[in-house]
Every structure is written in structure tokens, then in C-alpha cells.
A = this chain, B = another copy of it.
Amino acid sequence: MYKRQVYGDGLAILVGDALLTLAFEVLAHDVRPAQAALACCRELTKAAGAAQLVGGQADDLAGVDAANDLESLKSIHRRKTGAMFLASLKLGAITAGADHVQLRALEDYGAALGVAFQISDDLLDVEGNEAALGKRVGKDAGRGKLTFPGLLGIEESRQWAVALVDEACTALAGLGPRAASLEALARYVLERDR
């Protein structure tokens, strides 16, 4: 399914560098006060750097998940998808002046939601493959990569996603009705069909 880029590798790499830099530019220029802007920059460096996003992607490229091991798979997704979910939540919260208790609630919400989202993504891949190819699902689902349904089976994966979404919503309890849209977003992860 690989499609050659229209603009070439060189420009694609530059666009990535420009967008990464732009994210820091928006935070450093537009968030007030200075302490919040700086906290946002720190949060993004943590999420986007070698410890999280880049590290998870590098392990993914290197085939660390070939160990056929749930902990490796969770670790890769926690750093790749999960860190970006968390950063999105925390940058908004810091900008809005959230306190430590609120930030902690959003961290718990985001951590659970990140895994739930990845499981639902894998399930959609599996269902897409089954519908399109009539093929048996398993370790080969999702272009030969290890997936949650491949490791746990479809039913157990579904149940885990439901449990994680409940966990995410429970984490929001202390935030009151203002968190209704975050709860709806979490529920949507179980319902989406693409």
C-alpha cells in the first residue's frame, strides 16, 4: 500500500522539521504567562523526544515488538500514541491554569485512553482485513505487525478497551460536568468505525 510521495523525501523531512519547530513556536509565543509557556515547551520536549515519541517509533522500526510480548507492545504505543494524547491534554490544561490535582486526573485519563485508542485501531484493522479479505485474523493483522488482537484475541482486546475507557472516565470524576466532552471523546473510541 506504499505510495510514493508527490514532493519527494527531502521536502517531506523538512516539512516534519518545520511543523515540529512550529509547535514550539506557538507555545513559546502565544501561551501566557511565561511560566506556563515554558512548562508547555518542557512538556512537549518530553513527549516528542527520544524518551517518548521518537523512542517508541525507533523501537517500532527496529522490530522490538517482534518479541511477541504485551509489555513491549504497550510500551511502544504508550510512547508513540499515548505521549501525544497526554501532551495534547496537558498543554491545554497548563494553558488554562490547571492545578496539580486536575493535571493528574488528565494524565490518568490520557494514559488509559491512549491504550484504548490503539486497541480500537488494531480492531478496526482486523475487521477491515476480515471484511475485505475473508482472512483469519491474528499476528498478521495490520501489515505483519504485532497487534493487540494478534496477542490477546479479538474478544479479550474488546473487553480490555471497554475497561480502559471506563478507567479513563473514572479518572475524570473529580473534574465535574466540565469534563463531559472528554468523557464523550473516550466513549467515541469504542464506537468509531474508521
Q: Does A134 contact B (CB under 8 A)?
A: no
Q: Does A170 contact B (CB under 8 A)?
A: no
Residues of B contacting A62 in the complex (Cβ-Cβ under 8 angstroms): 11
- Give Cα A87 to B21, complex, Å: 14
- Give Cα A9 to B8, complex, Å: 13
Q: Among residues 1 to 25 in chain A, which have CB atoms less than 8 Å away from a CB atom of chain B?
A: 8-11, 13-14, 16-18, 20-22, 24-25
Do residues A17 and B18 form an inter-chain contact, with CB atoms below 8 A?
Answer: no
- Chain A interface size, under 10 / 10 to 19 / 20 to 34 / 35 or more: 35 or more
Task: Report the minimal beta-carbon distance from A33 to chain B, rounded to whole angstroms.
Answer: 9
Q: Assuming the A-B contacts A9-B9, A34-B35, A38-B34, are A14 and B58 also in contact, with contact meaning beta carbons closer than 8 angstroms in the complex?
A: yes
Q: Mark A52-94, 1 if CB is under 8 A from B, else 0.
A: 0111011001100000000000000000000000000000000
Pairs A–B under 8 Å by Cβ, sample size 18:
A11-B61, A11-B62, A13-B13, A14-B57, A14-B58, A17-B17, A17-B20, A17-B53, A17-B54, A20-B20, A21-B45, A21-B48, A24-B45, A27-B41, A28-B42, A29-B45, A37-B38, A41-B41
